[in-house]
Amino acid sequence: MLIPSLTPLEWTLALASAALVGFSKTGVPGTGILVVPLMAALFGGRQSVGTLLPMLIFADCFAVAWYRRHARWDRLWALIPWVLAGMALGAATLQMLGPAEGSRDRLSVLIGVLVLVMLALSLARGRWGEKLVPHSRAGSALTGVAAGFATAVSNAAGPVMSLYFLSAGLNKSEFMGSFAWYFFIFNLIKVPIFAALTAADPQHPMFSASSLTFNLLVAPMIAVGAVAGRWLLPRIPQKMFDDAVLVLAAAAALRLILG
């Protein structure tokens, strides 16, 4: 069956998730914190990660098209080798764990704890100085590995990167431009990784004909969410934007920890 067999309520949740994906990429990062658990409930943990990836890439296209000129590439280049290392570690972990859902839950707890640590460091940087905050040299390495690992195992790097860019003092436009390019690049890198994992274990695929059909069906709602986010962003004061990013990052971390 190419079209996923979902109830009307499940389709409603799926369309809402699609709209949140688009909105979080172009409006307020972190507003899509419910998408990961909703997709896991609809498709199961392992396949939900693969099903969500094309949705994220489609939304990334809107974000890159609108905010591409505002990226802070100095911040991005510092992360790239560490993110690749984290992604390799995450892919190896997914291969080793296979379809075991309980193990994914433990990984989510680890990611959530890392986010809370980064949040604490970010809030305390006025007292501790700049040595331990996420955009220091050591902080960039930790952030990159954590983000790469999180994005590979559960598409959950959003709160990690939100705190990194926020702690670097980026304004709204720079934040969104850097956020857009980061996720567009590394989500594309994940495609062959997930394809290889599917080929290695076809009984538990990351992608399937059914999941790709689902992606096509929900694409219009992703576009709707992206347009809504684009409309809202210029109307949000910088302080409100910063506060929203911090609150949503903390909420995402707690959701990862508590399940």
Give the pLDDT score at 98: 59
pTM reported for the whole predicted model: 0.81
> Does residue 2 lie within any of the structural domains?
no
- The answer to whether position 3 is within a domain reads no
- Asked if residue 65 has pLDDT above 70, the reply is yes
Flag the least confident range among 59-63, 105-109, 194-198.
105-109
Contact (CB, 8 A) for 18 and 222: yes
The alpha helices in the chain, defined as continuous H runs, are: 8-26, 35-43, 45-67, 73-77, 80-97, 101-123, 125-128, 137-154, 158-167, 172-200, 209-232, 238-258
Cα 151 to Cα 146: distance, rounded to the nearest angstrom: 8
Per cent of the chain over pLDDT 70 is 81
Average pLDDT rounded to a whole number, residues 146-166: 78
Residue 126 lies in a domain: yes
- Does 98 or 102 have the greater pLDDT score? 98
Asked whether residue 37 is assigned to any structural domain, the reply reads yes
In a domain? residue 49? yes
Q: Tell me how far apart the alpha carbons of residues 195 and 218 are, in angstroms, rounded to a whole number.
A: 21
Q: Would residue 62 count as lying in a domain?
A: yes
Q: What is the pLDDT of residue 45?
A: 65
Grade residue 209 by pLDDT with cuts at 50, 70 and 90: confident
CA–CA dist 196, 204 (Å, integer): 12
Residues 63-90: what's their mean pLDDT? 90
The predicted structure's pLDDT at residue 221 = 97
Does some domain include residue 80?
Answer: yes
Q: Taking a C-beta distance cutoff of 8 angstroms, is the pair 197, 98 a contact?
A: no
Distance CA 108, CA 104 (A): 6
The tally of domains found in the chain comes to 1
For the residues 1-30, what does the mean pLDDT come to?
A: 86
**Considering the domain boundaries, does residue 1 fall inside one?**
no
Confidence of residue 217 (pLDDT cuts 50, 70, 90): very high
Average pLDDT across the chain, whole number: 81
Find the domain containing 38 and state its range: 8-258
Q: What contacts 64, CB < 8 A, 6 or more positions away?
A: 180, 181, 184
Q: What is the identity of the amino acid at 174?
A: E
- Mean local confidence (pLDDT), 95-112: 59
Residue 115 · residue 256 · CB < 8 Å:
yes
Q: How far apart are CA 208 and CA 112, in angstroms?
A: 29
CA 195 – CA 214 distance, rounded (Å): 17
